[in-house]
Amino acid sequence: MAPPLSADKLLKALRDEGLHVIEHRSWRTNNRNHKGPWGPTHGVMIHHTVTSGTSSSVELCYNGHSALPGPLCHGVIAKDGTVYLVGNGRANHAGLGDDDVLQAVIAEQATLPPDNEANTDGNRHFYGFEAVNLGDGKDPWPEKQLLAIERASAAICRAHGWSERSVIGHLEWQPGKIDPRGFSMNGMRGRIAKRLGSVPERPPAEPSKPPATKPPKPTYEPFPGAAFFKAGRNSAIVTAMGKRLVAEGCGRYAVGPGPKWSEADRKSYAAWQRKQGYTGAAADGIPGKTSWDRLKVPNV
């Protein structure tokens, strides 16, 4: 007994298998559950649309027509391999089929019995995929489309723990049906089996961003003492101090600042002291520890 996949799980299974999936309109609530049960699910059924053109085929499968209301499947597989999800729940795709075929699918038998009866509700038990193709034996099946059929089938089988023998064509289920026409279901099951025996080919991941790194915490020159600041002192610290004073709008330099302590440095620092609220002798232009720590002169 396999309960149907939720909409989220179905979408994830398909994308995890490497498929490009488009969610069409209100596919999550588009179903025929009011007309009969949905589940337990036992397999995947493949069809062709007997139409051409992606947009019109997707709309037809979503809405259905006067004789057969939609959705007509769960997903439409376009020529370019894109899967359009159009239904979630019971869908009008399988119709009545052979109960012996259903039992063979459930048992995952290697060989299916002939579909010579129409006595069992297939819409209840099968996921359905309609592949865009005229079904005339002439309309080509691009490899991208065949690969998408393989991947979509494998995705659902993988999600339920089924083998490739849980995938059948409409022609193997209901008497008189010919779809899908143009490729062999045995050949497709062989492709699905090979895929199920390997790790899914996931779509390329977006390049990961390097981990954010915090900028290094800035470090500042410790107060060198008031005696450091005397005429003729030549040091990179004096230059760094002068640049900070200029940045704070306190620079009083005609040229510079430079590495040699000068009257221009003293006047500039006095302006900084006054900016900090010092007055009189406390704003004499000779750095003190408190005003120096506030200036934050970077290490040199």
> For 43-133, where are the alpha helices, taking DSSP H only?
54-63, 99-107
In this prediction, residue 216 carries a pLDDT of: 85
Domain end point (choices 196, 217, 246): 196
- 3-class SS at 56? helix
Which region among 28-37, 55-64, 144-153, 256-265 has the lowest average model confidence (pLDDT)?
A: 256-265
Whether the pLDDT of residue 199 is over 90: the answer is: no
In this prediction, residue 202 carries a pLDDT of: 58
Rounded to an integer, what distance in angstroms lies between the CA atom of residue 9 and that of residue 4?
10
Whether the pLDDT of residue 286 is over 90: the answer is: yes
Write the pLDDT tens digit of every residue in 45-56: 999 999 999 999
In this prediction, residue 200 carries a pLDDT of: 66
Which region among 30-34, 122-126, 189-193, 254-258 has the lowest average model confidence (pLDDT)?
A: 254-258
Whether the pLDDT of residue 2 is over 90: the answer is: no
Letter string b/e over residues 275-285, b meaning 16 or more CB atoms within 10 A of that residue's CB: beebeeeebeb
Whether the pLDDT of residue 122 is over 60: the answer is: yes
Domain-embedded: residue 201? no
Rounded to an integer, what distance in angstroms lies between the CA atom of residue 205 and that of residue 190?
28
**Bridge partners (DSSP) listed for residue 260:** 234
User: Which residues constitute the domain of residue 105?
Assistant: 7-196
In this prediction, residue 98 carries a pLDDT of: 98
- What does the mean pLDDT of the chain come to? 94
281 and 147 both lie in a single domain: no
Write the pLDDT tens digit of every residue in 111-121: 999 999 999 99
Could you tell me the sign of the dihedral formed by the alpha carbons of 38, 43, 49, 50, in that order? negative
Domain end point (choices 176, 196, 216): 196
CB 38 within 8 A of CB 124: yes
Domain-embedded: residue 1? no
CB 146 within 8 A of CB 182: no
212 pLDDT band, cuts 50/70/90, is confident
130 and 234 both lie in a single domain: no
261 and 150 both lie in a single domain: no
In this prediction, residue 207 carries a pLDDT of: 61
258-266 long-range contacts, Cβ below 8 Å, gap at least 24?
A: 259/234, 259/235, 260/232, 260/233, 260/234, 261/229, 261/230, 261/231, 261/232, 261/233, 261/234, 261/235, 262/231, 265/229, 265/238, 265/241, 266/229
In this prediction, residue 188 carries a pLDDT of: 98
Rounded to an integer, what distance in angstroms lies between the CA atom of residue 222 and that of residue 99?
89
How far is CA 270 from its chain centroid? 60
CB 156 within 8 A of CB 44: yes
Domain end point (choices 178, 196, 214): 196
CATH number at residue 111: 3.40.80.10
96 and 233 both lie in a single domain: no
Q: Give the residue among 281, 297, 124 at the shortest CA–CA distance from 224.
A: 297
CB 115 within 8 A of CB 173: yes
Number of domains in the chain: 2
In this prediction, residue 1 carries a pLDDT of: 57
Q: 234 vs 122, 230, 262, CA distance in Å?
A: 94, 9, 10
Rounded to an integer, what distance in angstroms lies between the CA atom of residue 167 and that of residue 153?
7
Write the pLDDT tens digit of every residue in 142-196: 999 999 999 999 999 999 999 999 999 999 999 999 999 999 999 999 999 999 9
205 pLDDT band, cuts 50/70/90, is low
Place of tokens 């089929």: 97
124 and 245 both lie in a single domain: no
In this prediction, residue 300 carries a pLDDT of: 84
56 and 181 both lie in a single domain: yes
74 pLDDT band, cuts 50/70/90, is very high
Q: Give the residue among 124, 119, 116, 135 at the shortest CA–CA distance from 93.
A: 124
Write the pLDDT tens digit of every residue in 83-106: 999 999 999 999 999 999 999 999
176 and 30 both lie in a single domain: yes
147 and 81 both lie in a single domain: yes
137 and 15 both lie in a single domain: yes
Rounded to an integer, what distance in angstroms lies between the CA atom of residue 91 and that of residue 87?
7
187 and 238 both lie in a single domain: no
183 and 288 both lie in a single domain: no
What pTM value is reported for the model? 0.68
20 and 84 both lie in a single domain: yes
In this prediction, residue 234 carries a pLDDT of: 93
Domain-embedded: residue 215? no
Domain-embedded: residue 169? yes
For β-strands 126-131 and 167-169, DSSP reports them as: unpaired
Rounded to an integer, what distance in angstroms lies between the CA atom of residue 277 and that of residue 299?
26
Domain-embedded: residue 37? yes
Q: Rg of the Cα trace of the chain? A: 38
In this prediction, residue 256 carries a pLDDT of: 81
